[in-house]
Chains A and B, each alone.
Chain A
Amino acid sequence: MLLSLIFRNAFRHKLRTLLTVVGLTVAVLAFGLLSTVVEAWYAGAEGASNARLVVRNAISLVFPLPLTYRQKIRQIEGVRGITTANWFGGIYKEPKNFFPQFAVEASSYLDLYPEYLLSEAERKDFQRDRKGAIVGEKLAATYGFKVGDTVTLKGTIYPGQWEFVIRGIYNGRDAKTDVSQMLFHWDYLNETMKIRIPRRANQIGVYVVEVADPSRVAEISRIIDNEFKNSNAETLSETEKAFQLGFVSMTEAIVVAIRLVSYLVIFIILAVMANTMAMTVRERTAEYATLKALGFGPRFVLLLIYGESLAIAALGGALGIALTFPVAVAFGNAMGTLFKVFAVSGATVALQAACALAVGFISALVPAYRAARVNIVAGLRSIG
């Protein structure tokens, strides 16, 4: 009877409760989406390895490194493998179609990235075709790329039109693997540049180095950087993870802003809900006074009010969480390949639930305290 009393009270003003529930649902949904965006932002670094070093120009990522460094780095003791990558930054049809493209050393790149799963046949096809490219499955799905398709990119860093033939579509070993990239032959880039702008040929964006013993990664990065000290292109070596995080932190301010907004949304719904509860409880003062006259204690009144508030919050929260999943999928699709992973995490759901329940609890705090303490005679005089 107590539970049914709580539920019937909650739905006494159908419209009021409905609006509150809708507000909560939207707030919890918005909170979930925003926190998923933030997570997606950091997911880039999460898939990164701690055993791979990225060696870049010490001045800035936009300056290249000489091709000659490859041999020198390869010879350092403790280095097991090396490959190269140049950020291409081409435009596919329209600038909004953003996805990462790298010109890589095709013979070695996939050896250093075992998390990119490609069939043996496709791998051979890719390596055989100088204009060949491979794309991640998410990227392929977004733009409908199929093996054998010709894809034309408009260069920005490397001017001109560039044509590629898709030779393979790779999958990710796990959810953290970036399956929204396009990889193609550095040789193709370099030979074309030799003709178009010869002084920009033979340049490497970054070297990716595999260290035999991951615990020696810091030591080896120092050895590499020392090797090129006082040369005209000093290097900065850091783990891939540190490298990615550095990239992410450039946008730290945006992430902080998003986090702030997501909590603001919860705060607003808290204010709305607290107002609703205050109004509701005030209207029922005479009922609470009646219950107390009949001998019910303050705890019973507290239970009724907290129960009602938490029931409404739980309903709105549950709906918001349930909606987060389909909306996140739609949102992720709409964002295309901007985020390599866009999935609602367990931590996000837990936070959503915690926020909803906190809203329910805090909203009831003051009204419940007042109602529990209401003077019976004064309460009975107030006609709802």
Chain B
Amino acid sequence: MSEPLISLHNIVKSYRRGQQTVPVLSGVTFDIAAGEFLALMGPSGSGKSTLLNLIAGIDRPDSGQLIVAGEDIGRLPEAALADWRARHVGFIFQFYNLLPVLSALENVELPLLLKDMPRRERRERAELALSMVGLSDRLDHAPSELSGGQQQRVAIARALITDPTLIVADEPTGDLDRESANDVLRLMQRLNDEIGKTIIMVTHDSRAAGHAHAIMHLEKGELSGREEVGK
């Protein structure tokens, strides 16, 4: 196997609550290869989101080494880290986090504002991304005019638009009914299968996790093994 895309070594993270420190991750070590679709499971409060946030570069470990897409992101200064995220990470959130004043198309276009790209090209790309998630007929709809499942598909298009190295999804189906959840999960599977996107998905739903290649369990701040999903 070649160089792993993501390499965590002895990652420690704790939060301060008043005087007390709450340990969340106590020495997590593992690698993820490019092209994986990994589900991260564990009980509520086990530190799944914390781990995902570290990998996505929106949080920093207390100690340990965190190399993602060839960059030691634990040591990048703030501005460089923001640039790094814009280049390498696509985000999918539980509550979609679309900007309510922008249309579906504009929401998808948004991350391209950070690239030096003419307006026309931004539009074309955003339309293409929305057609990939099956929303070509909803370009001008505001998020409030879309169902939860549709909003999450817009968010997936937004995560795709910059062609990131890695897509992180924190409970992407946590707020959806079963049918919409299945749509979203199938879509993520296709991204992984057809265009080889590396995906890390946090979920506490084992059915959702079944769509991934592999499942990792997190318990009390420690990884307790990896389980391949039989196809």
Taking CB atoms, residues of chain A closer than 8 Å to B111 are: 294-295
A292 touches B82 (CB 8 A): yes
Taking CB atoms, residues of chain A closer than 8 Å to B83 are: 295
Instruction: Given the known inter-chain contacts A5-B102, A295-B86, please indicate yes or no for A376 contacting B114, CB distance below 8 A.
Output: no
A5 touches B99 (CB 8 A): yes
Number of A-B contacts defined by CB within 8 Å: 57
B97 touches A297 (CB 8 A): no
A376 touches B59 (CB 8 A): yes
Instruction: Given the known inter-chain contacts A1-B109, A5-B99, please indicate yes or no for A380 contacting B93, CB distance below 8 A.
Output: yes
Taking CB atoms, residues of chain A closer than 8 Å to B91 are: 290, 293-294
Which of B53, B82, B85 has the largest count of A CB atoms less than 10 A from its CB? B82
Asked if A14 CB lies within 8 Å of chain B CBs, one says: no
Interface string of B29-70 (1 = CB under 8 A from A): 000000000000000000000000100101100000000000
Chain B interface: which size bin? 20 to 34
A-B contact pairs, 9 of them (CB 8 A): A1-B113, A12-B101, A287-B100, A290-B91, A290-B97, A293-B58, A293-B85, A293-B91, A295-B111
Asked if B106 CB lies within 8 Å of chain A CBs, one says: yes
Q: Which B167-183 residues sit within 8 Å CB-CB of chain A?
A: none
Contact of A5 (CB < 8 Å), options: B87, B93, B97, B101? B101
Interface string of A339-362 (1 = CB under 8 A from B): 000000000000000000000000
How many residues of A are in contact with the other chain, CB < 8 A?
20
Q: Which B91-107 residues sit within 8 Å CB-CB of chain A?
A: 91, 93, 95, 97, 99-102, 106
Asked if A143 CB lies within 8 Å of chain B CBs, one says: no
Taking CB atoms, residues of chain B closer than 8 Å to A380 are: 58, 93, 97
Q: In the complex, A109→B101 CA distance in Å?
A: 70
Contact of A294 (CB < 8 Å), options: B59, B85, B95? B85
Asked if B1 CB lies within 8 Å of chain A CBs, one says: no
Taking CB atoms, residues of chain A closer than 8 Å to B109 are: 1
Q: In the complex, A377→B55 CA distance in Å?
A: 13
B82 touches A295 (CB 8 A): yes
User: Besides the contacts A290-B99, A294-B91, what 15 more A-B pairs have beta carbons closer than 8 Å?
Assistant: A1-B106, A1-B113, A12-B100, A290-B97, A291-B99, A293-B91, A294-B111, A295-B82, A295-B83, A295-B85, A295-B111, A296-B86, A297-B79, A376-B59, A380-B93
Asked if A257 CB lies within 8 Å of chain B CBs, one says: no
Asked if A8 CB lies within 8 Å of chain B CBs, one says: yes
Taking CB atoms, residues of chain A closer than 8 Å to B59 are: 376-377
Q: How far is the CB of A132 from chain B (nearest CB, A)?
A: 71
Taking CB atoms, residues of chain B closer than 8 Å to A286 are: 97
B99 touches A294 (CB 8 A): no
Interface residues of B (CB under 8 A from A): 53, 56, 58-59, 79, 82-83, 85-87, 91, 93, 95, 97, 99-102, 106, 109-111, 113-114
A287 touches B99 (CB 8 A): yes
B95 touches A297 (CB 8 A): no
Q: How far is the CB of A382 from chain B (nearest CB, A)?
A: 11
A2 touches B113 (CB 8 A): yes
Taking CB atoms, residues of chain B closer than 8 Å to A291 are: 99
Asked if A383 CB lies within 8 Å of chain B CBs, one says: yes
Q: Which A279-319 residues sit within 8 Å CB-CB of chain B?
A: 286-287, 290-297
Residue of A nearest to B60 (CB): A377
Interface string of A1-33 (1 = CB under 8 A from B): 110010011001000000000000000000000
Q: How far is the CB of A295 from chain B (nearest CB, A)?
A: 3
Enumerate the 10 nearest inter-chain pairs by beta-carbon distance, A residue then B residue, closest first: A295-B86, A8-B101, A376-B58, A290-B97, A295-B85, A377-B59, A295-B82, A294-B111, A293-B58, A377-B53
